[in-house]
């Protein structure tokens, strides 16, 4: 694509020189280790396609129902299903004098690319495996359609062969399958790079007229300047893990560079390896998705925005509008257990997923939940079993437990007859430990987790640890409460959040380490 392109405290309310092309690749930031390459033993193509027998990898049009379903939200999309069909495009480096274009439908996945090689970028909407390409410069008319890949593939556009036109590549696992034409058929080449879950950005990072792959993990950017497997050509830290990243040639020198967006402010850097921005400007609302493209064919990428589709926000609207009194950290998911009064033991549990490229959150799923039998503790008051109240605040989630692993990225512990959670003052307070002997006895104030997994309700068959009154969010204060979990068996609790077991398992499968849990009473949490 050449240029494309925790303890939370309450917050105040708050390329060839003649060819210009872009693919803006936006996605949620994934935290992880920084070494490149697939994890040991990982299958490079997890959907079952065999690319090791010497035959060329095949990417066929999608007709199998097994491949149906929404595409992943990371990848090359502009806001994925979180945006409206309204786009605001600016030809100014400061975002001034924007014009409005309507293309596609609310909920379409959108990409930015120059598919015809004329130097002006177009918008592409994706529905399943079908791509609809607009006219140049943000025209609202569909100029071309084609089918490629499968409905669940991650897709990226770039000029892989230097002919001036952007074409698709799909990623399956850590394998990229590249095609050099906008049509269905065989992949032209394939290679492995990075790891499953890496945030991918496409650009011409060395001004040679060819687009290649960069990946981002936390604040580390790893650029490789060839479409081959191997180590990064260059890497450096930039921005914050929660920043949205834009890639484009913002000064017209033929090299794509990385820009970061925080709130409504875009911080622009014109070269690689910088730790400070060259300039900044504001554009659009924080809950809109921004991207870069060359809308007038002058060889320089400028800003655009996709208006938020508020219909997807649901119960997550207060987060999208910045109304939370607690800092949720702009993590990939914020899960909320919200009660209507301080005394009720009923709450609504909602999983909110961040819209890639913005500070908006959309509702992924929601269910009725039970919390402390005596309701919710006010800020600063003790919580848990001796008060039978659920704490108030925003806390990280980094580990989980259960009788089996549902397939979670959290640090998951399989329970045994030795498994305990400490409630006795001392070294084990509010932490897991293994008892000296196995037992099914009631060991309160230490919790016998094995016993609670085998009771009739099976509370601890699956659970996630909420980092209330414990690291990494805070130091432990004895007497303030312990063992705050999201667990199975939705009945009134001693302070935990309880939902059906299959939904706990779903939560564990979808959650990344460091995601946020927001707990409390609606009137206190938002305003």
Backbone phi, then psi, for 444, in 5-degree steps? -55, 145
pLDDT band at 96 (very low <50, low <70, confident <90, very high): confident
The rounded distance, in Å, linking the Cα atoms of 390 and 34 is 37
Q: Is the dihedral of CA 271, 274, 278, 281 positive or negative?
A: positive
The number of beta carbons lying within 10 Å of the beta carbon of residue 516 is: 27
> Is the pTM of the predicted complex or chain greater than 0.85?
no
The rounded distance, in Å, linking the Cα atoms of 280 and 286 is 15
Q: Which residues contact 376 (CB under 8 A, 6 or more apart)?
A: 339, 342, 389, 390, 391, 392, 519, 520, 521
Strand order across the beta sheet in which 432-434 lies: 432-434, 419-421, 447-448
The answer to which of 4-8, 341-345, 375-379, 443-447 has the lowest mean pLDDT is 4-8
**Mean pLDDT calculated for residue range 186-190:** 94
**395-440: pLDDT as tens digits:** 999 999 999 999 999 999 999 999 999 999 999 999 999 999 999 9
Residue 29 has pLDDT above 60, yes or no: no
pLDDT band at 359 (very low <50, low <70, confident <90, very high): very high
Q: What is the largest CA-CA distance in the chain?
A: 76
**284-298: pLDDT as tens digits:** 999 999 999 999 999
Which residue in 513, 504, 519 sits closest to 402, CA to CA?
504
> Residues 275, 276, 282, CA angle at the centre, nearest 5°?
130
Residue 39 has pLDDT above 60, yes or no: no
The rounded distance, in Å, linking the Cα atoms of 20 and 299 is 5
pLDDT band at 82 (very low <50, low <70, confident <90, very high): low
Are the beta carbons of 330 and 353 closer than 8 angstroms? no
Are the beta carbons of 298 and 285 closer than 8 angstroms? no
Which residue in 439, 424, 408, 421 sits closest to 484, CA to CA?
421
**Mean pLDDT calculated for residue range 229-258:** 92
**If you write DSSP's letter for every residue of 190-259 in order, what string do you get?**
EEE-S-TT-EEEEE-SSSSS--EEEEEETTEEEE-SSSSSSS-SEEEE-S-TT-EEEEE-SSSSS--EEE
Backbone phi, then psi, for 131, in 5-degree steps? -115, 135
pLDDT of residue 77: 57
pLDDT of residue 502: 97
Of residues 492 and 56, more confidently modeled: 492
Considering the chain, what percentage of its residues have pLDDT values greater than 90?
A: 69
pLDDT band at 138 (very low <50, low <70, confident <90, very high): low
pLDDT of residue 38: 29
The answer to which of 121-130, 372-381, 452-461 has the lowest mean pLDDT is 121-130
Considering the chain, what percentage of its residues have pLDDT values greater than 70?
A: 84
The answer to which of 73-82, 289-298, 473-482 has the lowest mean pLDDT is 73-82
Rg (CA), the chain: 24
pLDDT band at 78 (very low <50, low <70, confident <90, very high): low
pLDDT band at 140 (very low <50, low <70, confident <90, very high): confident
pLDDT band at 382 (very low <50, low <70, confident <90, very high): very high
pLDDT of residue 398: 98
**481-491: pLDDT as tens digits:** 999 999 999 99
Residue 50 has pLDDT above 70, yes or no: no
Of residues 274 and 242, more confidently modeled: 242
Q: Where are the beta strands (DSSP E) in 62-108?
A: 83-89, 99-102
């Amino acid at each position: 694509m050449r240029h494309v392109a925790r303890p939370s405290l309450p917050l105040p309310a708050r390329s060839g020189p003649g060819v210009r092309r872009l693919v803006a690749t936006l996605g949620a930031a994934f935290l992880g280790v920084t070494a490149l390459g697939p994890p040991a033993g990982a299958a490079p193509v997890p959907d079952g396609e065999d690319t090791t027998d010497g035959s060329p990898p095949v990417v066929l049009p999608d007709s199998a129902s097994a491949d149906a379903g929404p595409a992943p939200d990371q990848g090359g999309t502009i806001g994925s299903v979180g945006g409206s069909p309204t786009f605001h495009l600016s030809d100014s480096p400061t975002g001034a004098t924007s014009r409005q274009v309507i293309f596609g439908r609310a909920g379409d996945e959108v990409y930015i690319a120059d598919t015809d090689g004329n130097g002006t970028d177009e918008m592409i909407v994706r529905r399943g495996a079908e791509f609809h390409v607009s006219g140049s410069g943000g025209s609202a008319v569909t100029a071309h359609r084609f089918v490629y890949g499968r409905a669940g593939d991650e897709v990226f556009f770039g000029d892989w062969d230097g002919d001036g036109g952007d074409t698709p590549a799909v990623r399956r696992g850590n394998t990229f399958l590249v095609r050099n034409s906008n049509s269905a058929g065989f992949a032209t080449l394939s290679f492995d790079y990075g790891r499953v879950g890496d945030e991918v950005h496409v650009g011409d990072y060395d001004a040679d007229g060819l687009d290649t792959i960069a990946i981002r993990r936390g604040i580390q950017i790893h650029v490789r300047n060839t479409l081959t497997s191997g180590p990064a050509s260059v890497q450096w830290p930039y921005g914050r893990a929660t920043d949205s990243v834009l890639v484009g040639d913002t000064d017209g020198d033929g090299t794509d560079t990385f820009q970061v967006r925080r709130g409504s402010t875009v911080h622009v850097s014109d070269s690689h390896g910088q730790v400070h921005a060259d300039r900044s400007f504001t554009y659009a609302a924080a809950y809109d998705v921004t991207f870069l493209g060359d809308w007038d064919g002058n060889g320089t990428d400028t800003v655009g925005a996709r208006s938020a589709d508020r219909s997807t926000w649901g119960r997550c609207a207060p987060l999208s509008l910045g109304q939370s009194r607690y800092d949720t950290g702009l993590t990939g998911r914020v899960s909320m257990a919200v009660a209507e009064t301080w005394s009720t033991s009923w709450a609504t549990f909602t999983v909110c997923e961040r819209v890639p490229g913005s500070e908006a959150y959309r509702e992924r799923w929601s269910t009725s939940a039970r919390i402390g039998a005596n309701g919710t503790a006010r800020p600063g008051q003790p919580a848990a079993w001796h008060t039978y109240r659920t704490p108030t605040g925003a806390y990280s989630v980094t580990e989980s437990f259960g009788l089996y692993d549902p397939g979670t990225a959290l640090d998951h512990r399989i329970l045994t007859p030795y498994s305990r959670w400490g409630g006795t003052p001392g070294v084990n307070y509010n932490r897991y430990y293994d008892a000296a002997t196995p037992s099914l006895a009631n060991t309160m104030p230490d919790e016998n987790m094995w016993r609670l997994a085998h009771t009739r309700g099976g509370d601890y068959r699956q659970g996630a640890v909420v980092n209330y009154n414990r690291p990494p969010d805070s130091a432990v204060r004895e007497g303030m409460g312990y063992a705050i979990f999201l667990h199975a068996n939705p009945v009134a609790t001693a302070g935990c959040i309880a939902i059906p077991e299959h939904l706990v398992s779903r939560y564990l499968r979808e959650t990344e380490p460091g995601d946020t849990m927001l707990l409390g009473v609606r009137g206190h949490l938002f305003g």
